[in-house]
Amino acid sequence: MANNASTQPANNAEADTRRAIFVATSRLLAYPDRALWALLPDIIAYLCELPASDAATTDALAGLVSVAERLRAADVTDLEARYVATFDFQEPASLYLTAHELGDSRRRGLALIELRAQLRAAGFEETGDELPDYLPLLLEFLAHAPADTPVDAIHALEQRLAALCARIQERLDANSPYLGVFVALLKTLPEPAEADPERRFTRREQADTGEMPYPLHYD
């Protein structure tokens, strides 16, 4: 379960650490090609230098270091295959926010338009071909959102992501190298708006992504 993290941390150091966690988790959830694998030692060093203001943050940072070390020790080819099997072939663990919230419905198109408008209103432009509800992209946005971005909008997005992370975490194998990423995020994000986060997904329609005949790579 997420902790009661505030959208307005008590001091700049805490805010910087929180943003850094979002940057690190964004990187760790990216497609694990050789470029990311080579970057992992820098991610580990970056995380080890961050100050922790409380036990939850300390645990989150330690967990992310453990994830990065485990990814670094893995064979890249095996890691790529496991990533695809986890996040692309299992719809319940998809990294796309509105796919969880609305499934394969027309309402998802409108939700994507609204989300892209929110990002662009804050001066954030997506790069590449990713949809605006891609979790690593949204974590990057939270890390770099300008100071004048409406607090209510950021908090609402964080609550949506907390519900998403709780849902994915419950569906990951206990041995998954990515489980620690979601544990860390749930220690950093605020509580979901719903007491039962799964209620957010009751309006969704089943998406036909369970058995894709090809891997989707996220560079």
pLDDT tens figures, 52-83: 889 999 999 999 999 999 999 999 999 999 99
Q: Name the band, by pLDDT with cuts 50, 70 and 90, for residue 151.
A: very high
Confidence at residue 103, expressed as pLDDT on a 0 to 100 scale: 82
89 or 34: whose pLDDT is higher? 34
Instruction: Count CB neighbours of 19 within 10 A.
Output: 16
Confidence at residue 218, expressed as pLDDT on a 0 to 100 scale: 37
Q: Report CA Rg, the chain.
A: 17
Does the model's pTM come out above 0.95?
no
Q: Name the band, by pLDDT with cuts 50, 70 and 90, for residue 162.
A: very high
Report the chain's mean pLDDT, rounded to a whole number. 85
Class assignment of domain 12-201?
A: mainly alpha
Instruction: Reply yes or no on whether the pLDDT at 200 is more than 80.
Output: no
Q: Name the band, by pLDDT with cuts 50, 70 and 90, for residue 207.
A: very low
